[in-house]
């Protein structure tokens, strides 16, 4: 075990996987000489050369579009999108090609590419450095999506994504890049996609969260400990979704709230609530509530703490479901 920050665990995964598989390459804006604006790719160009850790032009659709072609040539590209909202130009490639190309070949060709990007708010940055765009990606058929909340998962999910034959998007919670620290297995470490993690055990309410919201949920659970026993489920992977894990927790607690940073309408929390409505309705003793960002542009950063789901809002939601 090594004690690492979340961003260091990402870096470790890239080193281990590139060492293990010579067809893995990293590409993106400023990922090479600089080592990435968050230093997630630091040291890779020195270790593996500029052909396998490539500073690309500033062109997100070009990064993802050429990555599709690189897959056809036998490479496994790991594309960094510098920030969440900067990835939107690449959605054209993601929706039109990344998620569809395998299907177009009737399963004969694989597109084992990975997109990783820092996402989410709370970092006092200029506009469009704060978005939570996971829903756009989860909604695209053929694409898998995972979001770690701990250093060990950041390493294990990324490594699993790199080895996965399908395209995988990893959203890395930038707020906790250097706040989350923890034990990370050394060398090869994999966390299977599609397996949720019980971050905290409890019996009265299930708080479903992912990414930086897991910490918010844990702190809310902690502050509520005299009133209620809260279970925190860290989804880790949005697609595939660990429905069994989710349903097992709700079967036990009978109450659920779902936390996400993204705007509410059609956000991933809505999918979780729909699953509970379809498959857990008779286990539920209260309405399922969502604690989310609002359906407005991500606010001026002096107001962002009022937008991003807070411990207080999660506590309030838990009290409401307990009172229902």
Q: Of residues 51, 281, 282, 302, which one binds another protein by CB under 8 A?
A: 51
Q: Between 15 and 44, how does the x/- string for binding to another protein read (CB under 8 A)?
A: ----------x-------------------
**Is the CA virtual torsion 124, 309, 129, 76 positive or negative?**
positive
Is 57 a residue that touches another protein (CB under 8 A)?
yes
Is 126 a residue that touches another protein (CB under 8 A)?
no
Tokens 């998962």 locate to: 153
**Minimum Å distance from CB 23 to another protein?**
9
Is 231 a residue that touches another protein (CB under 8 A)?
no
Q: Of residues 126, 141, 281, 296, which one binds another protein by CB under 8 A?
A: 141
**Minimum Å distance from CB 91 to another protein?**
11
Q: Of residues 96, 203, 225, 306, which one binds another protein by CB under 8 A?
A: 96
Is 135 a residue that touches another protein (CB under 8 A)?
no
Q: Which stretch binds another protein (CB under 8 A): 29-37, 239-247, 252-260, 285-293?
A: 239-247
Whether residue 139 lies in the annotated active site: no
**CB-CB contact of 96 with 68 (8 Å):** no
Q: Which stretch binds another protein (CB under 8 A): 2-10, 60-68, 201-209, 255-263?
A: 60-68
Contact residues toward another protein (CB under 8 A) are 25, 51, 56-57, 59, 61-62, 64-75, 89, 92-93, 96-97, 99-110, 141-142, 144, 164-166, 194, 239-241, 243
Name the residues annotated as catalytic: 129
């Amino acid at each position: 075990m090594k004690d690492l920050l979340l961003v260091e665990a990402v870096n470790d995964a890239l080193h281990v996987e590139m060492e293990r598989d010579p067809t893995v390459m990293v590409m993106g804006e400023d990922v090479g000489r600089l080592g990435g604006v968050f230093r997630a790719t630091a040291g890779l160009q020195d270790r593996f050369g500029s052909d396998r850790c490539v500073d690309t032009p500033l062109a997100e659709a070009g990064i993802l579009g050429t990555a599709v072609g690189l897959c056809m040539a036998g490479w496994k590209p790991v594309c960094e999108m510098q920030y969440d909202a900067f990835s939107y130009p690449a959605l054209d490639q993601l929706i039109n090609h990344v998620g569809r190309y395998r299907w177009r070949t009737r399963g004969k060709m694989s597109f084992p590419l990975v997109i990783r990007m820092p996402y989410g708010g709370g970092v006092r940055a200029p506009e469009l450095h704060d978005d939570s765009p996971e829903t756009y990606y989860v909604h695209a058929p053929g694409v898998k999506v995972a979001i770690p909340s701990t250093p060990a998962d950041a390493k294990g999910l990324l490594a699993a994504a790199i080895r996965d034959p399908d395209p995988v998007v990893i959203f890395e919670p930038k707020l906790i890049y250097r706040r989350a620290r923890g034990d990370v297995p050394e060398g090869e470490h994999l966390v299977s996609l599609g397996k949720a993690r019980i971050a905290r055990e409890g019996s009265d309410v299930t708080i479903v969260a992912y990414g930086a919201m897991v910490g918010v949920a844990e702190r809310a659970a902690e502050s509520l400990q005299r009133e209620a026993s809260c279970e925190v489920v860290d989804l880790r992977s949005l697609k595939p979704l660990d429905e069994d894990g989710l349903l097992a927790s709700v079967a036990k607690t009978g109450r659920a709230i779902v936390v996400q940073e993204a705007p509410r309408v059609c956000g991933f929390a809505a999918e979780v609530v729909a699953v509970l409505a379809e498959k857990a309705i008779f286990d539920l003793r209260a309405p399922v509530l969502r604690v989310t960002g609002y359906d407005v542009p991500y606010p001026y950063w002096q107001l962002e703490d009022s937008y991003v789901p807070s411990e207080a809002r999660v506590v309030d939601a838990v009290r409401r479901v307990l009172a229902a």
